[in-house]
Structures are given as C-alpha cells and as structure tokens.
Chain A
Amino acid sequence: MTTQVAGPGAAPSEQELALGTGPIPAGPYYRPEYFELEREAIFRRTWLNIGHVCELPEAGSFIVRQLDFANASILITRGKDDVIRAFHNVCTHRGTQLTQETCGKRATFTCPYHAWTFGNDGELRAAPDMDRFYVDKKDCGLPKVSVDVCAGLLFVNLDPAPKQGLREYLRPFVEQWETMPVAKATTFSEYVYEIDANWKLTYDNFQENYHLRFIHPRSGGGGAVGPDNPFGYPVGYGFHGEHRTQTIWTNPAPKLSPAQLQAFGKLVPALMQRGLMDHPYGRAYYAVFPNMFMIGTPTQPFVHYVMPISATRSRGVIRIYWVGDDMNASERYGREFSMAMARDVHSEDRAVIEAGQRGLGSGALEHIHLQQQEVLLRHLMHHVDAKVQAYKAEKAGGAA
C-alpha cells in the first residue's frame, strides 16, 4: 500500500499508518540477540544493493563483494552471453575462497588450492584427477546467489528462492528510477566508512532532517533548511509497503559559499548538455528497505547503503553516480567538488551516531522517543520488528 502525504510540514498521521505514537524499545539498537534475528529475518532474505552494472562493462568483468553479516564473499560476473550471475566465492571441492581479487576480467577462476577451474558461468570446467572423485563435474558448479538489476543498480538476495523478484520488490520506484541518471551511469565517485553503531541507528540519522541545523550548520543545512523551514520538514512523505520516500524541501535562497557557486556553475552546464538536470524526481529521497537510500539531486545523485557487521558496527558505502567520462576540466572539477562536499556533510554525522550508540548500549534507556518528522524511523523499526516477529513465529512453527 502506498500512502502519500504532501505539503510543507505535513507529517502523516502515525495512526493512519498504523504505527502508533508510543516510545520505541531501545534494545533492538544494540542487543546482539536481536541482531542475530535481523540477520536471518531480513538480511539473508532481502534484496540488497551492492553495486552497479557499470562495474561489469564487458563479458568477463567481475566484482567481489564481502557481506559481513553473512560471513560471505559474493562473486558477480558478466558471462560471454552477457548474462550477469552471482555465486558464493567458494570452491566446491573443499571450500577455499576462489579469488582474493575485488574486481577484474576473467573467463575462468582457478582455485589456488587444487586448481579446480570454474567458468564465469559458475560451471566446473576442469579438476585435476577428477576421475578419482565420487561426484560428477556437472554437480560441482559454484553455489548460486540470486542477482538482478534495476535502473542499473545491482542487487543480490541470499535467499536461495526469493519470495519476490527484484522488480516486484521495488515496484513503487522502478518506473521513476529508470528515468533517472543512475540508470545510465557509467562511472561513480565513492567513499566508504565503518562506524561503531548499529545499522538502524546509522541509517536513521539519514532519514530525518531534524538534526541538520545542529550538526550541519556550516556544510549542509543551506539546501534543506532555512528561515521558513528551520527543522527541514519535507514537503511530502510517501509510504510504500516497507519502503518510504520524502520530497525534500527546497530553500529558495540557500547560502552558498563562493567556491560552491563556482563549482556547481561548472557542473550544471555539463549536466544540462547531457540532459540530466531536468527530471521530475530531483528532490526525491528514496529509503529502500532495509538499508539503502537514493537521492535524485542532479548535482549530487548519490546512493548510500548501510550494511551491518555486528549489532554495534556497520559499514556504509556512498556512491555518486555519473553518466559518461569527464567531458572536460570543468566537469571533472565539478564532480570532485560535489563528492568532497557530500563527504564533508557525511563526516559530520559520525560523532553523534557513535555517541548515540554508546548511550543506548549502556542500557540506561528502555525506550527512545520520536517526533512527527521521525515517523520515517518509526516506519523502519515497525517493519524490522514485523519481520523479526514473523521469523520467530516461523521458527517456532517449524519446531512444533
């Protein structure tokens, strides 16, 4: 079900969304036993963004992604038939990781231990002294992982039989995303971080604008807050099943520094020349369950995901996707500036997120309190807990 709420400061009714207005239990933000349930109930059975097709530009291209929550290494390949496939990066002989590389181009992968050789389609091509094994070569292909693409973005799902296909999962957004620059991206800027904080606590920081005026008074508050909207209330909210969106308010007179004005003055003409400046979702901010954001802003079109490592540690990846190689020095400068600016803003969040984790981890609080704008956080926690409770019921049923 999709619920849209529009108008500056118009928060949705929590009752209408059946989310309630009561305090939220603090335990799920630090307790290891809750995280163990999230790993199984959510992260091992949900589509997760881990890259972009521009990383697999030609037949033979491959990338490897570490998924710490599953202790897994995932190999994603583009075959000579142009099909993108994903596998566990594990030799089917005795479990050795096939490749230590993180990206490259290969038609085959040879295990460093006993030289079992697999095609990039996952099939076992050759194994020394194979006649002495008690198994057929055809039954020794690499373990498959579900993989699919939407708007150029690569998603994997560790569920061997996902309940939904990717496009069905992303149905509210598919049409919009496919018109956005990310769908045509050929390259990107990237910065990554690890943080001593629960994945939800980290993610939640980026779901509300309440903190902008306090944490980003110098670097990032100028665009989404202003005298007419000091707390940065979005102009609209959307609730789409497990996902949610905001339409970010635009300050009509943002304070930009001289270098910001100059840099974006260099980037915008290039974006216009590429036909990327004018799309209807430029102020859309998508929050895809469980752990991904995408923003439509043409000058800083970033995707940000937060992967859990443990109950109290997470890894974030932020990518600004660009269409085409730098066409000239001005575009190169504009792109570098855009990344540097986004990174300055994101760097400012770290201290308060980790301080929040230390506070919650002390066990001093039974509950936390959320205001209207933070309904997006409430919505995430609601759906996380629904999955966790359903999983517990599933396990209890299976054991009965």
Chain B
Amino acid sequence: MSQASVLPAGFEALAPFVEFWEADTAAGRAHRRDISDEAARLAFYNAANELVPKALEYLDRKPLEQFDESEQRLMRLVLGFAHVAMAVELQREEEPKHARYRPFMRITRAPADALPA
C-alpha cells in the first residue's frame, strides 16, 4: 500500500506518523507517548495540530462503524494526538519526569477500544 492511501485524501501529511503513533487501544496510545522522545512528539504535534480539527470534521460525516481501513487509521492517529498534546502543551519540559510516574496509572478500558481492528 502506498503511503498516500494509508490515510484518506487530504491527510497524507500524517502518513509518516502512522507507523509509530497509531495504536489500537487507549493504553497503547498512552504507551507510545511514554516511549517517545521530544523530537518525535514535536514532529507529530506540529504536523497534526492543524489537521486534527479537519480530520474530525471529515470523520464526523460517517457513522463510526462505517469507517473504512484508512478512516479507522486516521481516527486512531487523531486519538493519539490527544495523548501527545498533553505532553507538548501541558507537561512541556516536565514531560520526562511525568513519564516516570504516569505508567503506574494503567489504562484498562476506553470507549474507543471497541473500535474494530
């Protein structure tokens, strides 16, 4: 599959982030944040920040259960942004220290976990 078709048209700029940042569950997305470095977080944040509202607008046009594979992938990537935004906007320079304690708060369930794989 070419990089361009990994995500719906208009969101190609996010394709380089799929491999690392896309995860099936909220726990998985939180874990990607935990193991990322600052450069990776900033790169994803900067690329996704303006596209997340557009992605949600695009995805809101369809019921969740009718998403095709590329739309499911875009959804999971947007959900990953929720976690990365905490690091970049809130924790900032304290993120490495915060990451030492955060994994003790183990996510066991989230509504989005029911998303078809």
Given the interface pairs A189-B110, A329-B60, A336-B112, the reply to whether A262 lies near B53 with Cβ below 8 Å is yes
Known contacts A218-B90, A340-B83, A348-B101; A326 and B106 CB within 8 A of each other: no
Contacts of B89 in A (CB 8 A): 257-260
Question: At the interface, yes or no: A43 with Cβ under 8 Å from chain B?
Answer: no
- Interface residue stretch chosen among A75-83, A142-150, A161-169, A191-199: A191-199
Look across to chain B and name the residue whose beta carbon is closest to the beta carbon of A260. B89
C-beta contact mask, A347-389 vs B, less than 8 Å → 1, else 0?
Answer: 1101100000000000000000000000000000000000000
A187 at the interface (CB under 8 A from B): yes
Which of B29, B79, B98 is close to A344, meaning CB atoms less than 8 Å apart?
Answer: B98
Residues of B79-117 contacting chain A, CB below 8 A: 79, 81-83, 85-86, 89-92, 94, 98, 101-102, 104-112, 114-115
* A residues near B105, Cβ cutoff 8 Å: 191-193, 318, 343, 346-347, 350
Docked-complex contact B56 and A330, CB < 8 angstroms: yes
A322 to B79, CA, bound (A): 17
A330 near B60 (CB under 8 angstroms)?
yes
Q: Name the residue on A nearest B78 (C-beta).
A: A333
CB-based contact B26/A189 at 8 Å: yes
Docked CA distance A257–B26 (Å):
21
B64 near A: Cβ within 8 Å?
A: yes
Asked if A336 contacts B102 (CB within 8 A), the reply is no
B109 touches A190 (CB 8 A): yes
Chain A min CB distance to B103 (Å): 9
Chain B window 5-21, contacts with chain A (Cβ cutoff 8 Å), 1 for yes, 0 for no? 00000000000000000
CB nearest to A256 among chain B residues: B89
Q: From B82, which residue of chain A is reached at the shortest CB distance?
A: A337
Q: Say yes or no: A192 contacts B106, CB within 8 Å.
A: yes
Question: From DSSP, what is the main secondary structure of chain A's interface residues?
Answer: helix
Q: Which listed residue, A195, A257, A329, touches B56 by the CB 8 Å rule?
A: A329
Instruction: For A194, list chain B residues within 8 Å (CB).
Output: 104
A341 at the interface (CB under 8 A from B): yes
Taking a contact as CB atoms under 8 Å apart, the answer to whether B94 and A326 are in contact is no
- On whether A326 and B104 interact (CB within 8 A), knowing A257-B89, A259-B82, A262-B52, the answer reads no
Residues in A neighbouring B109, C-beta threshold 8 A: 188-190
**Residue from the set A218, A219, A318, A346 with the largest chain B CB neighbour count within 10 Å:** A218
CB-CB < 8 A to B101: which residues of A?
347-348, 350-351
A325 within 8 A of B: yes
CB distance from B30 to the nearest CB of A (A): 7
Q: How far is the CA of A318 from the CA of B109 in the complex (A)?
A: 11
| Residues in B neighbouring A258, C-beta threshold 8 A | 49, 89
How far is it, in angstroms, between the C-alpha of A325 and the C-alpha of B65 when the chains are bound? 11
Rounded to whole Å, the gap between the CB of A320 and the closest CB of chain B is 9
Q: How far is the CA of A336 from the CA of B80 in the complex (A)?
A: 9
A351 to B101, CA, bound (A): 7
Which residues of chain B are near A318, meaning CB under 8 Å? 105
> A257, B85: Cβ atoms under 8 Å?
yes
Q: How far is the CA of A257 from the CA of B89 in the complex (A)?
A: 6
Decide yes or no: A344 and B111 within 8 Å by CB, A262-B53, A336-B26 being known contacts: no
Type the 1/0 row for A158-184, where 1 means its CB is closer than 8 Å to any CB of B: 000000000000000000000000000
**Bound form: Cα–Cα A79–B107 in Å:** 30
**A332 and B98 within 8 A (CB):** no
Q: Which of B4-61 contact A (CB under 8 A)?
A: 26, 29-30, 49, 52-53, 55-56, 59-60
Min distance, Cβ B23 to any Cβ of chain A, angstroms: 12
**What residues make up the interface of A, taking CB atoms closer than 8 Å to B?**
187-195, 218-219, 257-260, 262-263, 266, 318, 322, 325-326, 328-330, 332-333, 335-337, 339-341, 343-344, 346-348, 350-351
